[in-house]
Structure 1
């Protein structure tokens, strides 16, 4: 990720939508960028409020008001300190380093090809993460979005957000404890008593927002179970949480 990309990754980071390598790079950037750190704290606080929300029907005028303001208010980018001037000898050194790198790439063409493939794979993962984050945001902001909340073990709380128009659902958790060693939390659609996998909950603790894999279809609710690492084709334990989808 470039420096510019890092400054725009705050939302995806808060929603746990970055690929592992991107998440590591962003956390290194976060340690030295107060502007992004502040934005992450604000977005995390907002996400936590969503995770603790109860089902509420917003007033009819709210959607029109938000859509109207979107067209007139632009998001301000984080303030980034201006780059310091580069001395002439530093520029010359940079050119020498670049020349050395090009020579090494010519000498070790196989390594260059491997690096290109790795970079392309990373870009593909980044695009997938961006699409998933955009779909998650679209579900949360959908005009027909409905929510239901329930208590989970250890004082945690879960909220499911369903958009019938988009045929998708999202699951938000707050203060969910880590699963036992070698285990993961798995999400399920409840299709008239038959559980259909909706993906894994890869992060716990704090606030987490996950887009359920697959369409809602005729599912009447969802469940969460503890499964072996990698997940299971069908539940192997009793659900730690079951929620009916809002009408």
Structure 2
């Protein structure tokens, strides 16, 4: 199996559609491939958001229509973060979102058509997808910026975290994989480190172990970032010692 083949397995992995042997091979590759890690996290999140389904009988011909749709939207291999162009990245993110939607429907149809969207749930899911797409475009612009630089660390429990900073965008993204769920009533909060003073930079999704989060606000000269465990809703100032602290790459 070639590296190019592995790059194209992100969608199947996100939908849990790989045989055990291929899944193990891809997970080994995933540990050393940041673009695939990011793409897999985005596809998994999109598939979950669009997975609002109920058991009904699908319309006649739906399976054929969905399978035809999949052939019309081709998945692209993830490229190097520093060389991708933001304009193409936004298009690619939208292609991936449509691919995940088509793949979810195809999986349902292939299993006998036992899980498809009711009209209202589909509309709700699409609205959420559009909002997520805007967020994805902003994240992608940082990751694809020519001056994007990354700094990685290992968190408690074996999770891995990487902060990607673009000075030209004046933004930062925190990408984490394998994060333990916070205790009940708690949430992970992100912070900019302004020379020892912590500035709130948004909350992580407590339900997701893998995610990419755009830090809220401008980098604005911050020297690094931190992650703390805070009460649900977040805090204006850290109430606990950081569980992770990363300096921004030069």
Would you say same fold, with TM above 0.5?
yes
Residue in 1 that maps onto 2:113: none
Question: For 1:4-62, what per-residue CA distance to the aligned partner results, in whole angstroms no more than 9, with x for missing partners?
Answer: xxxxxx979826877xxx955x113699999799xxxx89x97xxx9xxxxx996xxxx
Classify the secondary structure of the residue corresponding to 1:27: coil
Give the corresponding residue for 1:141.
144
SS at match of 1:154: helix
Distance 1:178 1:241 in 2: 15
SS at match of 2:52: helix
Answering whether residue 225 of structure 2 is matched by residue 222 of structure 1, we say: yes
Larger radius of gyration: 1
Give aligned pairs, total. 175
Q: 1:186 aligns with which of 168, 181, 189?
A: 189
- Give 1:245's aligned residue: 248
**After the TM superposition, which residues 1-247 of structure 1 pair with which residues of structure 2 at under 5 Å, given as runs?**
14=42, 24=49, 26-28=50-52, 63=83, 78=99, 123=127, 128-203=131-206, 205-247=208-250
Q: For 1:162, what is the secondary structure of its paired residue?
A: strand
The alpha-carbon distance between structure 1 residues 206 and 227, as it changes in their structure 2 partners (threshold 3 A), is closer
* Structure 2: runs of 5 or more not aligned: 1-14, 16-38, 107-119
- Report Cα offsets for 1:104-135 as digits up to 9, x if no partner: xxxxxxxxxxx9xxx89x95x66543322210
CA RMSD of aligned residues (A): 4.5
Say which structure, 1 or 2, has more relative contact order (CA 8 Å, 6+ apart): 1
For residues 191 and 181 of structure 1, do their structure 2 counterparts lie closer, same or farther at Cα, with a shift above 3 Å needed? same
